């Protein structure tokens, strides 16, 4: 019997697996084997949906293969937990669409992009005047801060470097470290993209890690941030898939 806690445990376990693949301490993720071996298949599929675009990280960042059977698992996860098209869940819709777009691109099967509807034109949070609420919404979209994606959310991030930096500062001061690490991930992506930042994301990332501790999913956000921070600033390719 799957439960919310079983889903959370499965998401943590998958995050650990992705982390291991990213930093070389574990083997390839092998989503198909992960789903087959899981004691609770539904929880395993839920974990795939929770991690969203991050399940592709070992492929996008470390060059691991993403075989057809793994593509099938992601598609199956969308079957089990259909993409959201509820207007009040804009962040979920954007994350779902990004996952489906990457899946289509990596698999070469454009039809898979249809697993999630295209979000409304105004779905990307763009009101940086209210930097505090805006940065919280951007934290929910941290999985989009990855290689191979570019779109309205990324454009908003480029316009909102100051707001994201304020959001990092605010969340650290409030000891809201899960939000802090997601926003640090955006700052790291922005630096890789070539943005000038009003604070040093390297120091902030290390501080959040040392002071805040982290579960596997926060550790995954941090690993993504560190990956971007290790790349020379401003070296992001200018062409990427629009989610």
| Footprint on this chain of other proteins (rule: CB under 8 A) | 131-132, 162, 166, 168-170, 172-174, 198-200, 203-204, 207
Q: Which is nearer to other proteins, 32 or 199 (CB)?
A: 199
Yes or no: say if 22 and 57 are a contact pair by the CB < 8 Å rule: yes
Cα 161 to Cα 138: distance, rounded to the nearest angstrom: 11
In sequence order, what are the residues at sequence separation of 6 or more whose Cβ sits closer than 8 angstroms to the Cβ of residue 229? 188, 191, 192, 201, 202, 205
For the bound state, the minimum distance from the C-beta of residue 154 to other proteins, rounded and expressed in Å, comes to 23
Yes or no: say if 233 and 91 are a contact pair by the CB < 8 Å rule: no
Q: Which is nearer to other proteins, 102 or 161 (CB)?
A: 161
Q: Which is nearer to other proteins, 97 or 166 (CB)?
A: 166
Cα 201 to Cα 180: distance, rounded to the nearest angstrom: 11
Q: Which is nearer to other proteins, 85 or 176 (CB)?
A: 176
For the bound state, the minimum distance from the C-beta of residue 134 to other proteins, rounded and expressed in Å, comes to 12
Q: Which is nearer to other proteins, 76 or 170 (CB)?
A: 170
Cα 39 to Cα 28: distance, rounded to the nearest angstrom: 20
For the bound state, the minimum distance from the C-beta of residue 198 to other proteins, rounded and expressed in Å, comes to 6
Cα 243 to Cα 95: distance, rounded to the nearest angstrom: 9
Burial tier of 39 (Cβ tally within 10 Å: 0-12, 13-18, 19+): exposed
């Amino acid at each position: 019997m799957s439960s919310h806690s079983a889903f959370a445990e499965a998401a943590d376990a998958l995050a650990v697996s992705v982390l291991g693949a990213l930093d070389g301490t574990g083997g390839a993720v092998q989503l198909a084997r992960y789903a087959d071996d899981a004691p609770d298949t539904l929880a395993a599929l839920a974990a795939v949906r929770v991690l969203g675009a991050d399940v592709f990280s070992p492929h996008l960042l470390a060059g691991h293969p993403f075989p057809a059977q793994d593509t099938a698992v992601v598609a199956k996860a969308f079957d089990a937990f259909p993409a959201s098209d509820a207007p009040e869940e804009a962040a979920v819709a954007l994350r779902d669409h990004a996952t489906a777009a990457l899946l289509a691109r990596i698999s070469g099967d454009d039809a898979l992009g249809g697993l999630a509807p295209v979000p409304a034109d105004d779905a990307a949070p763009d009101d940086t005047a209210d930097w505090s609420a805006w940065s919280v919404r951007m934290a929910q979209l941290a999985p989009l801060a990855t290689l191979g994606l570019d779109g309205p959310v990324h454009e908003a991030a480029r316009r909102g470097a100051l707001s994201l930096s304020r959001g990092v500062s605010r969340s650290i001061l409030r000891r809201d470290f899960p939000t802090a690490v997601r926003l640090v991930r955006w700052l790291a992506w922005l630096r890789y993209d070539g943005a000038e930042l009003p604070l040093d994301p390297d120091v902030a990332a290390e501080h959040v890690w040392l002071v805040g501790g982290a579960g596997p999913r926060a550790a995954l956000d941090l690993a993504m941030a560190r990956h971007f921070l290790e790349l020379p600033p401003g070296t992001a390719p200018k062409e990427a898939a629009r989610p």
